């Protein structure tokens, strides 16, 4: 009960009246996949508020279907966060691509967790969902979002969605992006990082990283955020991003069926995406999925937690599931200090237990791995991960992430998705997840 109350306090404290910020200090706007995870936890406190969380994010959707990774709060001063609305210039630079006149948003995206979140929120109280017409309103928007990813973002021609910025897969400075980013000339001296006002520089991406992030955005912005008019200097097919797209397609099929509509299109897309995911990104020798760099067509030679997250896909071949679970419990990802899953290979030369996505264990990826284990009937292993997540979330004051070796909380505290997902797992039993 103490943990439940603590998690609820975090979510209430980070609520702005229309949505939930990840952190009152470090992240003062609404982030895309953060809000999806927050809604999953909020459904246990208030289904109505969980619905509003998703609906407020969808209000920033572009006419081409993309769901931007940040929806900006106009009451927050520009200097409180970088890149701010005046950097993205969405309503002006993105007008041809369908950016809304208001609210201001970013021009890139984040992993498509939203359909899964909406389906879980609906399932928490179908009567309230029906009363408010929740599914009827979100289904066409979420379908348009997936259509955007499967058409305009099929940059490799292999049927998978590509990411065009390290912020898009959500694992900003993962070593998996190093080789691709090395081809990008960094912007220097034209921006000020507000994140260092609230975060330890040892935890955050480097200035060199940020210079390259800025360069990629300015090039995309100059092309009007038009994927067809842009020569992307960073383009990869990420396994976690596409795995979440598959689970989202299955959620859309469930929504359509509940509304008496034909969900066969989404079921078929999920099956085809699963086949392509395995064909293009599975590395049987390493026992992990890898990102594919579309500049040269090669698989990235790094093991990261993104390569384990396809466990959430129900239709994976049995041999792939067996290999993934062996990798999870092997030397690359078994962190005895916490029982969580490090974001990068513990044995890798570029592993760093403190620096953002280069090693620390995150609670949202642990939640996804736990769900994947249950999806494939690994209930005992899921239980140990669930217990570790809940324990570490409470012990660290709902930290943004933790050192996987020592359990030291790092990054922001009172972090929204940590609280939301701990709350969700407190309500989770060992039944197979709804597909």
- Dump pLDDT digits (tens) for 38-50: 999 999 999 999 9
Phi then psi for residue 293, to 5 deg, are: -85, 115
Question: What single DSSP character describes residue 414?
Answer: S
Q: What is the pLDDT of residue 431?
A: 52
Q: What is the mean pLDDT of residues 227-245?
A: 95
Question: What single DSSP character describes residue 75?
Answer: T
Q: What is the mean pLDDT of residues 215-220?
A: 96
Separation of alpha carbons 185 and 425, rounded Å: 43
Instruction: Give the 3-state secondary structure of residue 105.
Output: strand
Q: What is the pLDDT of residue 200?
A: 76
**Surface-to-core class of residue 285, CB atoms within 10 Å of its CB (0-12 exposed, 13-18 middle, 19+ buried):** exposed
b/e per residue, 6-27, with b = 16+ CB within 10 A? bbbebbeebbeeebbbbbebbb
Tokens of 55: 């609906």
**For the whole model, what pTM was predicted?**
0.96
Separation of alpha carbons 409 and 203, rounded Å: 11
Q: Where are the beta strands (DSSP E) in 185-246?
A: 236-237
Separation of alpha carbons 384 and 411, rounded Å: 24
Phi then psi for residue 104, to 5 deg, are: -70, 145
At 435, the pLDDT band (50, 70, 90 cuts) reads: very low
Tokens of 221: 């912005």
pLDDT above 70: residue 196: no
C-beta separation of 357 from 302 below 8 A: no
Interhelix angle 47-58/134-151, rounded to 10 degrees, is 40
pLDDT digits (tens, 9 = 90+) for 381-408: 999 999 999 999 999 999 999 999 999 9
Separation of alpha carbons 40 and 287, rounded Å: 30
Element at 410 (helix H, strand E): strand 409-410
pLDDT above 70: residue 432: no
Q: Which residues does the annotation mark as catalytic?
A: 172, 400
Q: What is the mean pLDDT of residues 111-128?
A: 98
pLDDT digits (tens, 9 = 90+) for 7-31: 999 999 999 999 999 999 889 999 9
C-beta separation of 375 from 382 below 8 A: no
Q: What is the mean pLDDT of residues 333-341?
A: 93
C-beta separation of 301 from 174 below 8 A: no
Separation of alpha carbons 243 and 309, rounded Å: 7
Q: What is the pLDDT of residue 390?
A: 97
Question: How many Å separate Cα 49 from the centre of its chain?
Answer: 20
pLDDT above 80: residue 202: no
Sign of the CA dihedral 329, 331, 336, 338? negative
Give the angle subtended at the CA of 258 by the CAs of 252 and 262, to the nearest 5°.
Answer: 65
Give whole-number Cα distances, 302 to 167, 174, 205, 331, in Å: 18, 9, 18, 14
């Amino acid at each position: 009960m103490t943990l439940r109350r603590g998690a609820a306090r975090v979510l209430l404290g980070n609520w702005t009246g229309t949505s939930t910020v990840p952190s009152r200090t470090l992240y003062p706007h609404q982030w895309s996949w953060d809000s999806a995870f927050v809604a999953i936890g909020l459904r246990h406190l208030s289904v109505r508020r969980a619905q509003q969380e998703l609906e407020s994010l969808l209000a920033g959707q572009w006419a081409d279907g993309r769901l931007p990774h940040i929806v900006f709060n106009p009451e927050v001063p520009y200097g409180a966060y970088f890149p701010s609305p005046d950097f993205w210039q969405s309503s002006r630079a993105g007008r041809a691509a369908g950016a809304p006149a208001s609210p201001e948003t970013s021009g890139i995206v984040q992993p498509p967790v939203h359909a899964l979140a909406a389906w879980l929120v609906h399932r928490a109280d179908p009567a309230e969902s029906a009363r408010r017409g929740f599914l009827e309103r979100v289904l066409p928007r979420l379908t348009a979002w997936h259509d955007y990813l499967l058409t305009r973002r099929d940059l490799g021609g292999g049927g998978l969605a590509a990411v065009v910025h390290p912020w898009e897969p959500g694992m900003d400075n993962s070593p998996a992006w190093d080789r691709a980013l090395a081809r990008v000339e960094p912007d220097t001296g034209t921006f000020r990082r507000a994140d260092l006002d609230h975060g330890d520089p040892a935890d955050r991406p480097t200035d060199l990283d940020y210079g390259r992030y800025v360069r990629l955005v300015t090039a995309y912005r100059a092309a009007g955020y038009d994927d067809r008019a842009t020569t992307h200097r960073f383009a990869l097919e990420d396994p976690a991003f596409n795995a979440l797209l598959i689970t989202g397609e299955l959620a859309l099929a469930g929504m359509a069926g509940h509304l008496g509509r034909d969900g066969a299109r989404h079921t078929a897309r999920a099956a085809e995406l699963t086949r392509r995911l395995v064909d293009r990104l599975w590395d049987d020798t390493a026992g992990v999925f890898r990102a594919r760099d579309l500049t040269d067509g090669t698989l990235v030679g790094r093991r990261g937690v993104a390569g384990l997250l396809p466990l959430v896909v129900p239709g994976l071949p049995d041999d792939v599931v067996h290999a993934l679970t062996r990798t999870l419990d092997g030397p690359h990802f078994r962190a005895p200090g916490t029982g969580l899953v490090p974001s990068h290979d513990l044995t890798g030369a570029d592993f760093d237990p403190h620096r953002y996505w280069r090693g620390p264990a995150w609670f949202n990826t642990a939640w996804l791995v736990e769900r994947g284990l249950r999806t494939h009937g690994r209930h005992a292993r899921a239980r140990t991960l669930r217990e570790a997540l809940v324990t570490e979330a409470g012990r660290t004051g709902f930290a943004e992430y933790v050192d996987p070796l020592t359990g030291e909380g790092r990054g922001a505290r009172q972090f929204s998705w940590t609280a939301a997902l701990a709350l969700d797992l407190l309500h989770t039993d060992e039944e197979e997840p709804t597909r």
